[in-house]
Amino acid sequence: MGGDFEANTPEWDWQRDESGASIEADLVDAARRNWARVLAYARRHQQDPARAADILEAVLLSLSRTRKTKGKLCRPIQNLDNHLYLAFVRRLNRQLAKEPHIESVGSLRDLDALSSIRTTPASRFIEDDLLIEELMGYMDERTRRMFSLRHMGYSWNETARILKNTANNAQVLFNQGVKKARRHVMKLKDKKNTSGKGGEADE
């Protein structure tokens, strides 16, 4: 992989993974289409384009490998662009969750100000937002769809009709999905907390 990450879509000059097997053209095309989107997401998290490209490459390889090994056993991907983007989001969040939180401050006064902000209740909401974003990344496809439908204003009855289920069952499934994603996020946070001062950035 190479090219000018800052401005343009990186030139993927490889079409084969480490084992020498070719990567499907549709995956490479989807990666090209979504490059600006994943780069914007990475930048929002103060990550440089090179790292974004590395993660996207890893996602591509992983997806390609999964498609080859599981083949027809797994369900076809309905929206490849979205799938790729969310896989990227999830992988980046996972890596970030494992890293120590580094904040640069200009002076000791800034540091004091930052500490005082942290004690305000508003910071809890910010923390919630960060958590929610991770949570959204870790939801399975069904839970994610329900979550999207719900915050797009669809009622549980409508959501259930889309899933060909009852409203009650849909709620139960959603709860289970959220719990599962929450457990996943919390596990990562626990790992991060117990591993002391951070650790390896990459997987």
Partner 1 sequence: MSDRALTKREEARLLNAGQRALLQGEFPNPERSGCPDKETLRAIAARKLSLEQVVEWVDHVGFCSPCYVEYDALRRQAVNRRWMQFGAIAAGIAIVVALGIWGWFGGWRQHPVGRGGEIARGEAGAYQTCRLDLRNRFVLRGGGEESPKPPSGPLELNRGRLDLTLDLPVGSREGQYEIQVLEQPGKPVASVRGTAKLEKDITVVRAQIDLRNISPGRYLLGIRRPELVWTYYPVLLK
Q: Site residues (CB under 8 A) for partner 1? A: 33-34, 36-37, 40-41, 44, 78-79, 81-82, 85-86, 89, 128-129, 131-133, 135-136, 141, 144-145, 147-153, 158, 161-162, 171-172, 174-175, 178-179, 182-183, 186
Taking the complex as a whole, the smallest distance from the CB of residue 5 to partner 1 amounts, in Å, to 15
Cα 175 vs. chain centroid, distance in angstroms? 20
Q: Which of 12/174 has CB closer to partner 1?
A: 174
Taking the complex as a whole, the smallest distance from the CB of residue 126 to partner 1 amounts, in Å, to 10
For 73, 79, 186, the CA distances from 134, given in Å and listed in that order, are 28, 21, 10
CA nearest to 128, candidates 185, 76, 48? 185
Helix, strand or coil, per DSSP, at residue 22: strand
Q: Which of 48/112 has CB closer to partner 1?
A: 48
Taking the complex as a whole, the smallest distance from the CB of residue 119 to partner 1 amounts, in Å, to 21
Helix, strand or coil, per DSSP, at residue 172: helix
* CA–CA separation, 23 and 176 (whole Å): 35
Q: Which of 105/117 has CB closer to partner 1?
A: 117
